[in-house]
Amino acid sequence: IGSLDDVQAMLSELGISEPLPAFEAASVTTNPIDIFRSYIAEEMTKITGVSRDLVYPALEWTQTPDKGDLIMAVPRLRVKGDAKALAADWAAKFPENKYILPPSSAGTFVQFFFNPTLLAQITIPSILSKGLKYGANHSGAGKKALIEFSSVNIAKPFHAGHLRSTIIGAFLSNLYEYCDWEVIKMNYLGDWGKQFGLLAVQYEDTGSEEKLNEDPIQHLFELYVEANSKAKAEEERIKAGETLEGESMNDKARAYFKKMEDGEEQALTLWKRFRDLSIVKCEKVYARLNIKFDIYSGESQVGGDTMAKASQIMEDKGISENSEGAKIVDFVKHGHKKLGKAIIQKKDGTTLYLTRDIGAAMERYEKYKFDKMIYVVSSQQDLHLQQLFTILKLMGMDFVEKCIHINFGLVAGMKTRSGEVVFLDSILDEVAEAMHAVMKKNEDKYKQVENPEEVADTVGKSAIMIQDMSGKRINNYPFDITRMTSFEGDTGPYLQYAHARLCSILRKANIPMPLIHTADLTLITEPQAVLLLRTLAQFPDVITNTLKTNEPTTIVNYLFKMTQLLSSSYEVVKVVGSEENVARARMALFESARTVLSNGMRLLGLTPVER
Ligand code: ARG
């Protein structure tokens, strides 16, 4: 079903020869529900006399299936008169047809229920033929999205904020790619700043060439800990009135960073080694999560010339001002009370996190001319990103309208048993181990898994991801290994279990695929089966909605709703043991459910398992 003609041909095969009315907002080739929407909207236009473009978007989803497949709130059409009476009148006037059952009114709403047989005949073939692409749309065709996520710091610990940014960013990348956006995945490393000076100074003291090559992230982390505790001890001595013999760690670090900013080769060579080795290690760990960045950029990569240019614009436009030798932006003076003040250049002329972000944004737009740029960063940096966007706006950088900050809340208690999280892989390892232990508890099922360690790793990753994406992004949550690795409740393992169970039905039924694809779908009649079908038909709408909310929970929630319907239908909608034609039709339904589940899981970043 690639073109409008295909849709029309399919409908005429199903006994509907009238041409399907065309609506700009409808995507009938990718979304079965839009076929029904188009028909209903056209009829309602005739009945109400209201403009088509007002009627179409007034056909909304319902919260629960007993309220219909689509619902229309009469007041949305802005017709004078008693809304209740109008609802009843319009429902009664709806002509008899093949698409929907006779509509009914409920208060000020008109409720529409799709004809379940036609819905099956349109939806199931669409799912089976589109396969991995069922749910996708073409809304991003010709458009480019730059998605910056993960953005870990070299030489500073990995924390829960990075975990969430990685998971949510990868999800958004999948989602936009799925809908035909050209996506550029960027990791903007924290690879610049005074902490590098600190690290370099410590490396010259206690660093080891060998350890650095073996596990750069681990070794740099150790140096980071040593350097910081030394610096802290010194600060305390100064506070206590002591004088230090020689230069302090902080002074040395500052001096070292100054050398880096001035482009001194020796200082840069060491820094570059740290960076390169860290990236190699990062790539391996991201690969474990099926993530491959297109670009490892970073704070260090922002051009000095760009920042100088930005500084000039800010000065010329009166955005920045001098303050005791430094340059600052006083947002209050520009009408942004809540944003306070921000330093954009230190007294010694060095740049800051914010300065580099300004330059980075300008360079990114210059280079990629993106239609959308997404920053996936913790809500702890809300202020930082608001300051950034506001400065860009004041500077007259129109592309700021294309930038969005996708934020998220905190995770409590993300620690491994040894207490320190050095990088992602220590978390993945630990959860995989816990997952393995949970799997072993069911001896029978465990025996059927050929490669338990690999499955434990895969399901463990699902556990972490689903825990992270279950709630709204902004919510905080506790990192709870016992809960996330459970096969019960709204967990990753539960989704994996649901998928494996569908695979097992397919194996046991052993019906050749071509017979499933040509099944007689009028045989899908049980209420549970129809309910499941109606839910499967919603998947493309769920994707469209997710593109608006940028909330993974929109999909996660849907998948839990769908898998719950599945588990309550197995008893009634049996495949194995049913009459052959009935078995084929039901298998077509379950194979459709498996496809939707698998597509949803993949978008979220999970790898569905078969056993
Ligand atoms: N590296 C930063 C951190 O760990 C996050 C970077 C976010 N992105 C940005 N463009 N500022 O806190």
Q: How far apart are the first and last CA of the chain?
A: 32
Percent of the chain with pLDDT over 90: 91
pLDDT in tens, 287-329: 999 999 999 999 999 999 999 999 999 999 999 999 999 999 9
Distance 510 CA to ligand 1 centre (A): 51
Given the residues 46, 159, 258, 336, the one annotated as active site: 159
Domains in the chain with CATH codes:
4-114 (3.30.1360.70), 149-301 (3.40.50.620), 424-604 (1.10.730.10)
Q: Which ranges constitute the DSSP H helices of 519-551?
A: 527-537, 539-549
Question: Tokens in use for 83?
Answer: 């809304």
Q: Backbone phi, then psi, for 478, in 5-degree steps?
A: -90, 140
pLDDT of amino acid 140 = 97
ipTM: 0.99
Given the residues 162, 252, 384, 436, the one annotated as active site: 162
Q: Is 138 a catalytic residue?
A: no
Residue 58 near residue 76 (C-beta atoms within 8 A) = yes
Q: Closest Cα to atom 1, ligand 1: which residue?
A: 190
Pocket test for ligand 1, best of 152, 357, 381 (most atoms within 8 A of CB): 381
Distance 405 CA to ligand 1 centre (A): 12
* Exposure class string for 438-459: b at 16+ Cβ within 10 A, else e: bbeeeeeeeeebeeeeebbbbb
Q: What's the mean per-residue pLDDT of the chain?
A: 95
Distance 498 CA to ligand 1 centre (A): 37
Q: Which ranges constitute the DSSP H helices of 94-186?
A: 116-130, 160-178
Summarize the confidence of residues 562-582 as an average pLDDT.
Answer: 95
Distance of alpha carbon 470 from alpha carbon 411, whole angstroms: 13
Distance of alpha carbon 471 from alpha carbon 557, whole angstroms: 9
Q: Is 436 a catalytic residue?
A: no
Residue 419 has pLDDT above 80, yes or no: no
pLDDT in tens, 405-414: 999 999 998 8
Distance of alpha carbon 30 from alpha carbon 25, whole angstroms: 12
- Report the largest interatomic distance among the alpha carbons of the chain, rounded to a whole angstrom: 94
Residue 1 has pLDDT above 70, yes or no: no
Question: Tokens in use for 47?
Answer: 């009945």
Distance 377 CA to ligand 1 centre (A): 7
Percent of the chain with pLDDT over 70: 99
Distance 113 CA to ligand 1 centre (A): 48
Q: Backbone phi, then psi, for 329, in 5-degree steps?
A: -115, 125
Residue length of the chain: 611
pLDDT in tens, 448-475: 999 999 999 999 999 999 999 999 999 9
CB-side exposure of 161: number of CA atoms within 13 Å?
A: 15
pLDDT of amino acid 420 = 72
Q: Is 162 a catalytic residue?
A: yes
pLDDT of amino acid 465 = 98
Question: Which residues have C-beta atoms less than 6 Å from ligand 1?
Answer: 148, 151, 153, 188, 190, 357, 375, 377
Residue 551 near residue 473 (C-beta atoms within 8 A) = yes
Pocket test for ligand 1, best of 147, 149, 150, 151 (most atoms within 8 A of CB): 151
Q: Is 180 helix (H, G, I), strand (E, B) or coil?
A: coil
DSSP notation for 340-363:
-EEEEE-TTS---HHHHHHHHHHH
pLDDT of amino acid 156 = 81
Q: Closest Cα to atom 10, ligand 1: which residue?
A: 357
